[in-house]
Amino acid sequence: MLDNGKQRADLDAVFRPRSVAVIGASDTESKIGGTPLYYLRSRGYAGRVIPINPKAPEIQGLPAYANIKDAPGPIDLAIIAVPASLAVQALQDCADAGVKGVVMFSSGFAEIGEEGAAAQSQMQDIARKSGLRLMGPNCLGFMNIEEKIFATFAPVVKAGVAPKGRIGLVSQSGAFGGFAFSVARERGIGLSYWITTGNEADLGFAESVEWLATDPGTDVIVGYMEGCRDGDGLRRALDACRKAGKPLVVCKVGKTEAGAKAAASHTAALAGEDAVFEGIFRQYNVLRADSIEECLDIAYAASIAGLPSGNRVGFYTVSGGAGVLMADTAEAHGLDVPEFTRATQDKVLEMVPFAGTRNPLDITGQVGQIPGASRKALGLITADGTCDTVVSFISAAGLSPLGLEIAEDIAAVRAQSPDVLQVVSTLPSPEFRKAVEAAGVPVFEDPNRAVKAVAALARINRGFQRTDTAPDAQPTPLTVPEACTEPLALAALGKQGLPVVDFRHVATAAEAGQAAEELGGRVVVKIVSPDIGHKSDIGGVELNLSGRAEAEAAGERILAAAGAKAPGARLDGLMVAPMRRGVAECVIGVQRDPTFGPVVMFGLGGVHVEALRDVVFRAAPFSEDEAHAMIHEVRAIRLLTHPRGSDPADIGALARLLSQVSQIAAASPGLESADMNPVLAMTDGALILDALLLD
Amino acid sequence: MLDNGKQRADLDAVFRPRSVAVIGASDTESKIGGTPLYYLRSRGYAGRVIPINPKAPEIQGLPAYANIKDAPGPIDLAIIAVPASLAVQALQDCADAGVKGVVMFSSGFAEIGEEGAAAQSQMQDIARKSGLRLMGPNCLGFMNIEEKIFATFAPVVKAGVAPKGRIGLVSQSGAFGGFAFSVARERGIGLSYWITTGNEADLGFAESVEWLATDPGTDVIVGYMEGCRDGDGLRRALDACRKAGKPLVVCKVGKTEAGAKAAASHTAALAGEDAVFEGIFRQYNVLRADSIEECLDIAYAASIAGLPSGNRVGFYTVSGGAGVLMADTAEAHGLDVPEFTRATQDKVLEMVPFAGTRNPLDITGQVGQIPGASRKALGLITADGTCDTVVSFISAAGLSPLGLEIAEDIAAVRAQSPDVLQVVSTLPSPEFRKAVEAAGVPVFEDPNRAVKAVAALARINRGFQRTDTAPDAQPTPLTVPEACTEPLALAALGKQGLPVVDFRHVATAAEAGQAAEELGGRVVVKIVSPDIGHKSDIGGVELNLSGRAEAEAAGERILAAAGAKAPGARLDGLMVAPMRRGVAECVIGVQRDPTFGPVVMFGLGGVHVEALRDVVFRAAPFSEDEAHAMIHEVRAIRLLTHPRGSDPADIGALARLLSQVSQIAAASPGLESADMNPVLAMTDGALILDALLLD
């Protein structure tokens, strides 16, 4: 929605208001209508604050008005903190008064059932008609940390505020958002905005994220999601983050059965199919984290250090053991741990003869006895050209007085080699933390968490390098033939330019024999019927047939079997196709997702799809580059890249086919689902052997 | 080694000495020979402390002796803190003086090369001859927290000591151990012992763990390992922990290529094959953790709460979102999240009508407005009988004054229902932490880490339930036949009572035809030769043959192909066997591991073993119960339990076969390796179709 400049400006008025009214303002600071007023007054908001209360001329020392329509304008933002029964009227009053944005705390709407949903729908209408933007209802509101705007009654603010920083946080759950805020505050992680979206009658998760992507004070965005009702909006928001080069880290719950059940009982939003979400996140380079801790680790590192320019990591360690552990963790999370150059190793050994130098550089605890060696050694491996990030493990030294010297060393090296990220793991004193963070160096207590955060940043960087634009080709929409059989489906796909097996559709067993002779080699003969799904189950498929006689005999058996075992089915002759061998059988599917529209699935055939559920999704359309990434996400990828007794599969051809399928899927509203199974991955090319289309 | 009562007493003298001498004692507290003396004096050790220094009559205010032989005895423990060149003589002096244990800080031995190794070997001899026990050399020593014995020069102690607790920590790396100690201290996690083993000339990681298994002050053991030279000793130690019911959590580095390289460059110990270590850990119910943070999370939870009696977890949460996240995490980590009983849900709803009650119990942030509801609701789900552990998420309330009331509630429920573990996730104040821990309730800031710790405890509990004893059967040792071919291997295995396919070994193609006729159905014909490994590659295998004529013709082709393509190979006729179909093909292997002796491997056949490396190991022998666990560890287990179009495989028969193989492997020193591939898993039974034996 923010493509429209006016709408962006509207949200600016919500998130950066120059005046804030509180409807239902209370003198009691702990009350829902007293808390935001108290926060706004006591925490230094520079704009106008206007209490609205029909019963009191003054609230918390400020002149109050009976109705927002009586208050002096213009009013950018109104907070509505009244019971549900009064909320709709209050919103209408805001609209009448020309208020630009409303944050509604009131609960008792869609989350409680039909009646509430009706009232919520009324509010939606008011917002749409008047053009005001509504956050909530049933939300905890938001905070703009820089401008000290606390449009929230979240009690966590009483214990203190997280430092100003460059991480924007958006949560569909208020309680969860409040917890994340507290954790950030306790860890000293800086935030720009904190936003909770509640029932999302108007302004939702997606638009909030999209707005943060345009906010110059926000570099990194953390999201907590339970569901999504507007797939297009979400994709626009994710795309905005990607285009702005801002890392987006999301914790999306409902992964497992228990989680999904709990989510359904908790929120009014629809939970999408998790595998599709996973695919969308991958597609838009969203880093999906499993916990709030992981979200904050990654966002913290990105907001302090930025992104590394590659995957290679070097380690500097005072403990060999910690070095091995970090190297293990790095490789397990997709980082490369290259050996330092011989020249660099030799220079380090000249200074510190007892060091292990390959990578990790195990400088040992005794390095402290050689003045200046620590900074020089770190400088050498950093300037070595072999690594994009250096992680230093200095044990508990961050707590000691010596720590500040080390902090200076690291800061100096960071400044000397600005292209290489520095990350440090130690137990830090507050002074140590401040010193390294000021130099753009994040600090982690646990060395593994430091490495995992670096791996996440490297993955985000890789994702940003990918070509994200689907080709401009506008394929003709695919129309699913009436009573679609396999030959019709294959023909339809072939007509779209997709590689399909060279098959023959014949009427009789004799013609099948003749087709076999024409095709030569071994063939397969199958029954053709729009009504028979699992052809093998009724004896409708015979494989490995050689020559006219075998094929004709097989055709007779198949027609007889179909007649006997599927008596009601419409039969449409036989299909004959050459037996083709390749590297591995794959599956490509298309389905129309209720949230995201047409999505494309890829997996390896047979047990990998059915028993092991090793499949990946993307929203259509997508580029070949994206398809490459998609293919490499299947767990059994080695079956394509390192097959036994064969050259690797032609991944390029598979990627091309997947991208083509995605474009057709996107252009064909009449295609409900497609199932290309198997698709043969060959050393040269890919071939659709069987297909099913549904409209 | 601790099977011997005397040896246990010897280690008691090391770890609980009533007198400690420091050889190389220094007046300077920061020196390696000054630090332990300082710690012993200043931190309240109640035993005698005797400085040894040839140059000073008094050190740090204590009377000193020129040589330990001059000092008044008896001396339980001596710390040697002299340069490497003096260390051997100092050790000999200790032996002569009747000292029972020595901790040697001195470095410059096996870790620096051959010369050092020779000196280390001399020290080993002195220890063996005299019966004294030697820790180190090149180690940071140990701490006995309860008795305030700081036989260490680790600088981390200067910043303070971890509280006394019930976790024993053993580390092969001093620097890593020092870091772990600091983390424990900063987190307030209580330790009983802290032990670093250095070069392990005598006392090693295994024996230290084994001794802790007998220590009444230690309930949980955390280990950090880089390698193992004494597989039997390690297995004894792991077994001692299991028998004592003490959870052992190990961080073993060298998992990946980079890690293994780094480990090899760092330590003198041999790094074993990681997959075998993984199998040994599973077998002895060792919880392998990936980081020191994870080690401490699990050990902390176990030392405060003990183990749950089952897998079922209930959630109490003030945030629906956090509830979903925890439920997701629980299921992903093998916990069950059962629905609470209807009766309990109804009772909760009576009190708190807006709660979500299935599980998680989402009591919402508003529960605070209903006095007493919080404790009652937690009590109800705890007493519901559906869960073995309840995890409560109370957001940041642990920091607020209200927190202490909640802590009391949780403690009360814990006392009422002692069979159900309680764990709480919140940002805790020190008072909150103290209150819940005193009640046996661990607290975690991050809800996911709380759930992961519970999952680990449940897994440890499951492991302790398993029958660990291998059957007493003493199979006849298997002797690998001379020039062993497939028929000889199958016959040898069959003679051991293993299920092998009903094959015929024949000399000529004509006999192969006759054998095919006798066997009936479809058969396979294969070349027999001790010199041909990959028979298919030279055309030495034909499948799916039917009747005498086909088999005979195939036999002729095979013999001709073998003569042509493997001209030097000794040929021993043909083998004919029925084609058998089952649920899935598996692989069972035996190999002699340099550290652990005979180990047994299991995997699913084909791509699962070769491309995907989906295999698991166990040390031989093991029980059927253990084999069941082993089979269920392969990632593709669903191919056996949920095959497409078939009943499940007979896992019992596979487990029986694996246990039998393990007993034969253990009883057969002449068996270097065995390869049963494929082993057919059937709906009823399992069958070895092909085998290779090596001596």
Interatomic CA distance for residues B436 and B422, integer angstroms: 9
Report whether the peptide linkage leading into residue A594 is cis, meaning its omega lies within 30 degrees of zero: no
Residue A391 scores a pLDDT above 60? yes
> Could you tell me which of B499, B694, B502, B686 has the C-alpha nearest to residue B589?
B694
Report yes or no: A656 and A662 within 8 Å, Cβ to Cβ: no
- Contact assignment for B257 to A447 by CB distance below 8 Å: no
pLDDT category at B271 given cuts 50, 70, 90 is very low
Query: Which of A592-601, B365-374, B428-437 is least confident?
Result: B365-374
pLDDT tens for A53-71 read 999 999 999 999 999 999 9
Of B503 and A470, the structure prediction assigns the larger pLDDT to B503
% of chain A beyond a pLDDT of 70: 95
Interatomic CA distance for residues B390 and B384, integer angstroms: 11
Structural domains of chain B ordered from first start? 1-135 (3.40.50.720), 139-305 (3.40.50.261), 307-465 (3.40.50.261), 502-578 (3.30.1490.20), 584-694 (3.30.470.20)
Report yes or no: B565 and B582 within 8 Å, Cβ to Cβ: no
Whether residue B391 lies within 8 A of chain A, CB to CB, comes out as no
φ, ψ (nearest 5 deg) of residue A39: -60, -45
pLDDT category at A595 given cuts 50, 70, 90 is confident
Q: Give B-chain residues touching A646 at CB under 8 angstroms.
A: none
Residue B9 scores a pLDDT above 60? yes
Supply the pLDDT for residue A28.
94
Q: What is the DSSP letter of A312?
A: B
Spatial strand order in the sheet of A77-80 = A48-52, A19-23, A77-80, A101-104, A133-135
**Partner B, chain A 437-466, Cβ-Cβ below 8 Å:** 445-449
Supply the pLDDT for residue B608.
67
Length of chain A: 695
Helix, strand and coil content of chain B, in percent to the nearest 5, comes to: 40, 20, 35
Q: For CA atoms A450, A451, A456, A458, give the dihedral sign.
A: positive
Of A263 and A416, the structure prediction assigns the larger pLDDT to A416
**Partner A, chain B 319-378, Cβ-Cβ below 8 Å:** 319-325, 327-332, 337, 356, 358-360, 362, 364-365
Of A566 and B212, the structure prediction assigns the larger pLDDT to B212
Identity at B651, one-letter amino acid code: I
Compare all CA atoms of chain A with the CA of B327 and give the residue at the minimum distance: A259
As a whole number, mean pLDDT of residues B27-54 equals 95
pLDDT tens for A74-96 read 999 999 999 999 999 999 999 99
- Contact assignment for A262 to B182 by CB distance below 8 Å: no
Interatomic CA distance for residues A200 and A591, integer angstroms: 27
Report whether the peptide linkage leading into residue A477 is cis, meaning its omega lies within 30 degrees of zero: no
Structure-token pair, residue B588: 């069972």
pLDDT tens for A272-313 read 478 889 999 999 999 999 999 999 999 999 999 999 999 999
As a whole number, mean pLDDT of residues B491-510 equals 95
Name the minimum distance, in Å, from the CA of A613 to any CA of chain B. 10
Report yes or no: B602 and B630 within 8 Å, Cβ to Cβ: yes
Whether residue A475 lies within 8 A of chain B, CB to CB, comes out as no
pLDDT category at A113 given cuts 50, 70, 90 is confident
Structure-token pair, residue B67: 């040589």
pLDDT category at B364 given cuts 50, 70, 90 is confident
Q: Give B-chain residues touching A331 at CB under 8 angstroms.
A: 256-259
> Could you tell me which of B265, B211, B271, B264 has the C-alpha nearest to residue B236?
B211
pLDDT tens for A647-661 read 999 999 999 999 999
Supply the pLDDT for residue B266.
37
- Contact assignment for A324 to B182 by CB distance below 8 Å: no
For chain B, how far is it from start to end, CA to CA, in angstroms?
31
pLDDT category at A257 given cuts 50, 70, 90 is low
Whether residue B179 lies within 8 A of chain A, CB to CB, comes out as yes
Supply the pLDDT for residue B468.
67
Helices (H) and strands (E) in chain B, counts: 23, 29
Compare all CA atoms of chain A with the CA of B452 and give the residue at the minimum distance: A291
Of A639 and A413, the structure prediction assigns the larger pLDDT to A413
Q: Give B-chain residues touching A337 at CB under 8 angstroms.
A: 258
Supply the pLDDT for residue B357.
93
Residue B502 scores a pLDDT above 70? yes
Task: Please state the three-class secondary structure of B385-431 as a single string.
Answer: CCCCEEEEECHHHHHCCHHHHHHHHHHHHHHHCCCCEEEEECCCCHH
Report yes or no: A23 and A37 within 8 Å, Cβ to Cβ: no
The three-class DSSP label of residue B221 is: strand
Name the minimum distance, in Å, from the CA of B164 to any CA of chain A. 20
Alpha carbon B380 to chain centroid distance? 37
* DSSP assignment of A224-282: EES--S-HHHHHHHHHHHHHHT--EEEEE---SHHHHHHHHHH-SSPPPPHHHHHHHHH
Interatomic CA distance for residues B306 and B461, integer angstroms: 10
φ, ψ (nearest 5 deg) of residue B483: 40, 60
Name the minimum distance, in Å, from the CA of A218 to any CA of chain B. 24
Residue B155 scores a pLDDT above 80? yes
Residue B263 scores a pLDDT above 60? no
Whether residue B403 lies within 8 A of chain A, CB to CB, comes out as no
Residue B2 scores a pLDDT above 60? no
Kindly give the interhelix angle for A205-214 and A5-15, rounded to the nearest 10 degrees: 100
Report yes or no: B265 and A364 within 8 Å, Cβ to Cβ: no
Q: Say which of B259, B356, B607 has its CB closest to residue A327.
A: B259
pLDDT category at B270 given cuts 50, 70, 90 is very low
Whether residue A111 lies within 8 A of chain B, CB to CB, comes out as no
Compare all CA atoms of chain A with the CA of B354 and give the residue at the minimum distance: A112
Whether residue B264 lies within 8 A of chain A, CB to CB, comes out as no
Q: Say which of A179, A396, A638 has its CB closest to residue B396.
A: A179
Interatomic CA distance for residues A90 and A126, integer angstroms: 11
Whether residue A256 lies within 8 A of chain B, CB to CB, comes out as yes
pLDDT category at B500 given cuts 50, 70, 90 is very high
**Partner B, chain A 137-156, Cβ-Cβ below 8 Å:** 155-156
Q: Say which of B155, B259, B331 has its CB closest to residue A259.
A: B331
Could you tell me which residues come within 8 angstroms of residue A413 by beta carbon, excluding any fewer than 6 positions away?
A375, A378, A379, A382, A390, A422
- Mean pLDDT score of chain B: 91
Structure-token pair, residue A231: 């797939």
Q: Say which of B319, B337, B644 has its CB closest to residue A176.
A: B319
Report yes or no: B296 and B177 within 8 Å, Cβ to Cβ: no
Supply the pLDDT for residue B256.
59
> Could you tell me which of A113, A62, A121, A63 has the C-alpha nearest to residue A87?
A121
Q: Nearest 5°: CA angle at A601, between A240 and A530?
A: 135
- Mean pLDDT score of chain A: 91
Compare all CA atoms of chain A with the CA of B397 and give the residue at the minimum distance: A156
Could you tell me which residues come within 8 angstroms of residue A70 by beta carbon, excluding any fewer than 6 positions away?
none
Residue A32 scores a pLDDT above 60? yes
Interatomic CA distance for residues A278 and A288, integer angstroms: 8
Whether residue B297 lies within 8 A of chain A, CB to CB, comes out as no
- Contact assignment for B320 to A266 by CB distance below 8 Å: yes
Q: What is the ipTM of this complex?
A: 0.89
> Could you tell me which of B243, B269, B242 has the C-alpha nearest to residue B117?
B269
pLDDT tens for A351-372 read 988 889 999 999 887 777 788 8
Residue B267 scores a pLDDT above 60? no
